[in-house]
Amino acid sequence: MSQWDPAARLSYWAFHANRRPAYMRFAYLQLGSDAAAEEAVDAAFDSIMDEWLRMLHMDRLDAYAWTVLKHCLVDRQRRRHPWQQRPEPMDISAFEAALKEAHADQYEVLTDTIRFYSAVSRLAERQRDSVLLRYGLQCTPGEAAAVMGVDEATVRSYLGQAHRRLARLLATSAASAASPASPASAESAESAES
């Protein structure tokens, strides 16, 4: 970095200051601890710094940085839990709060939360990222788009797809919970959908 011109240094530190808070919040949702999130985000920014001069010539610099962050999250998750395929969201407090408003029965809240959490984990990666940024971190679609490095319309499309998929997954899940004697029918309905 000492050989960089002042404009490149300034642009890197501006990007760092602008994106680090959102990256930290997202990493915490994925990893569940401040220390793990900080380690992953620091690794991402180290990689971004190594590539910064090249990144300055990219059309989608934010999208590339988001990809770097996601790779660092997967790497950190694999080191913590080598048997797991991908990071899963850890903090579902925003979802729990929404469910508590809808239900008074604590058991029902717990089962709905587990069902919803399971459904979110089954979304496609970009849909899941959009849902977590929008509802888990309370980002606007525009803010989520900026963090992910895509257009706002793309995030809105991911959210629409996620809503439709979640509705199907939750309906299938609720149907199988209501009739536990037929778990195979729920699985066949899910595989036919995919």
What are 72-83's pLDDT values in tens digits? 998 888 887 655
Q: How far apart are CA 150 and CA 162, in angstroms?
A: 16
**Proportion of the chain above pLDDT 90, given as a percent:** 45
Query: Does the structure show a pLDDT above 70 at 173?
Result: no
Give the per-residue pLDDT at 119.
82
Place of tokens 């010539």: 57
Query: Does the structure show a pLDDT above 70 at 105?
Result: no
Cβ–Cβ under 8 Å, residues 151 and 137: no
**Proportion of the chain above pLDDT 70, given as a percent:** 71
Give the per-residue pLDDT at 90.
46
Cβ–Cβ under 8 Å, residues 1 and 12: yes
Q: How confident is the model at residue 182 (pLDDT cuts 50, 70, 90)?
A: very low
- Token pair recorded at residue 166: 């979640």
Closest alpha carbon to 118 in 144, 137, 92: 92
- Token pair recorded at residue 78: 């694999």
Lowest-confidence region among 28-32, 63-67, 125-129: 28-32
* SS3 letters across the chain: CCCCCHHHHHHHHHHHHHHHHHHHHHHHHHHCCHHHHHHHHHHHHHHHHHHHHHHCCCCCHHHHHHHHHHHHHHHHHHHHCCCCCCCCCCCCHHHHHHHHHHCCCHHHHHHHHHHHHHHHHCCCHHHHHHHHHHHHCCCCHHHHHHHHCCCHHHHHHHHHHHHHHHHHHHHHHHHHHHCCCCHHHHHHHHHHHC
Report the alpha-carbon angle 36-39-44, nearest 5. Answer: 125
Cβ–Cβ under 8 Å, residues 24 and 37: yes
Q: How confident is the model at residue 91 (pLDDT cuts 50, 70, 90)?
A: very low
Closest alpha carbon to 99 in 91, 109, 111: 109
